[in-house]
Amino acid sequence: MSDIKRIGIIGAGLHGISALRRLSQNKDFKLKCFERNFDLGGIWLYTDQTKEDIYGRPITSPICHNLRTVSPGPLMEIDDHPLDTYGLPCFMTHQQVLQYLNGIADDSDIRKFIKFNTEVKEVRPIDVSAKDTKWTITYGDIRYKNDHHTEEFDAVVVCNGSVIINKSVNGII
């Protein structure tokens, strides 16, 4: 019997969905994804709010109402999920990118791993000198003031939209 590895994934945008889809194929991984928004999509989840959201957090999305991708869609495709499967064009609107991500999430049954409205406050190695460094993630539900929880993970995959860092622990990722 193999050990179950706990993996934390930060962000449920394009890269977070891709990581969740791939990692969920391994039954030896127990996954938890932290998404600060109310739904998946990361930066592709458009809002017309400006300055602050309803919880007083700054709006950081670079998406504007009429945005179209400037990169060809095939560069954004996730393995085994070609755009034409979803009837999408090469240069998509932000709504179409979100449609694509939702389609992948539904087809892959990965929503069950995502904690929405959850902001990661800290990621910290437990013992950097250990051969098998474990990590703690401290997070909280943005809807509740002073809500915070800390959990331990064997590996962390950061997919926050502007920086992507993969931390591999003994090759499990």
pLDDT, tens digit, 9 for 90 and up, residues 113-164: 999 999 999 999 998 888 888 999 999 999 998 999 999 999 999 998 654 3
pLDDT, residue 2, reads 61
Domain-by-domain residue ranges, the chain?
A: 5-166
d(CA 31, CA 112): 9
Domain 5-166 in CATH 1.10.40.30? The answer is no
pLDDT, tens digit, 9 for 90 and up, residues 59-76: 777 777 787 888 888 888
Strands 5-10 and 29-34: parallel
Strands 149-153 and 135-141: antiparallel
Instruction: Read off the pTM.
Output: 0.86
